[in-house]
Amino acid sequence: GKNGQIVFPDADLEAAADAAVFGGFFNAGECCNAGSRLIVHAAIADDFLGAVKALAEKVKVGDPLDDRTKVGAMISADHIEKVAGYVTAAQTDGGSVFSGGTRLQSNAGQYLDPTIVRNVTEDMAIAREEVFGPVLSVLTFETIERALHIANNTPYGLSAGVWSASIDTCMSVARGVRSGTIWVNTFMEGYPELPFGGYKQSGLGRELGKRAVEDYTEEKTIQFHRGQRTGWWVG
């Protein structure tokens, strides 16, 4: 997925910032439902991103066996090079690293500080392709129509989040975003009874819930004929 968290000015910004950090950096961003795109209203972008940055800088990166660690090593040296390449390409195209972007020197794994990239545009690879790393790409909007366009302008449609005090705004976004799961004033919460899966290139079918049981069920049809047969095919 290339999941967006859409933040409006009337949202609980403290909670939204916390969720942005969790959604973007949990498991080093190596999650299909990571909230890797932060789609923020332009009027609050500076203040909100300041709050996100402050939280991101508190995230402990390091040994996964340390109870204090929040972000452990990435899966391989090749993969961290790929992730770093997305950040470098974004900078070349006009983006800027707002926070993080530093590799930690270690003989025990490949580590990247939680990274926030600002001034991202929709045509950049970092905004359209699955990065699978601890990287948040920031895009801004001024109207709900623009927010929906940004959210949908990707080949993927696994999940998205919307943050607003207005139920009308939340429902407009929930109806308008082409994703299999929409989280409202929360992010990446899952329950076994709720189906989970995506639209577009984010897979087929659903996990969890009744739908998952059906996917793992083999059905059999047994058909009886009752009464006297009066003919078959050629009389």
* CB 27, CB 21: distance < 8 Å: no
Tokens of 40: 């923020």
CATH number at residue 154: 3.40.309.10
Which DSSP letter does residue 133 get?
A: S
**Residue 234 domain flag:** no
pLDDT at residue 27 in the model: 94
Q: How far apart are CA 21 and CA 136, in angstroms?
A: 8
Residue 228 lies in a domain: no
Q: Please indicate, yes or no, if residue 230 is contained in any of the structural domains.
A: no
Quote the mean pLDDT of the chain: 93
Whether residue 229 is contained in a domain is answered as no
Encode pLDDT of 160-191 as tens digits: 999 999 999 999 999 999 999 999 999 999 89
In a domain, 195, yes or no: yes
Confidence of residue 235 (pLDDT cuts 50, 70, 90): low
d(CA 64, CA 82): 22
Domain tally, the chain: 1
- 224 occurs within a structural domain: no
pLDDT digits (tens, 9 = 90+) for 208-233: 888 888 888 898 999 998 887 777 77
**pTM value?**
0.89
Is 55 inside any structural domain?
yes
Q: Is the pLDDT of residue 144 over 80?
A: yes
pLDDT tier, 60 (very low <50, low <70, confident <90, very high otherwise) = very high
Radius of gyration for the alpha carbons in the chain, expressed in angstroms and rounded: 22
C-alpha count within 13 angstroms, C-beta hemisphere, residue 87? 26
- Print the domain residue range for 60: 4-215
Hey, which bits of the chain come out as E strands? 4-7, 37-41, 96-99, 103-104, 111-112, 115-118, 135-141, 156-157, 159-163, 181-184, 199-200
Residue 220 included in any domain: no
Check residue 102 and report its DSSP letter: P
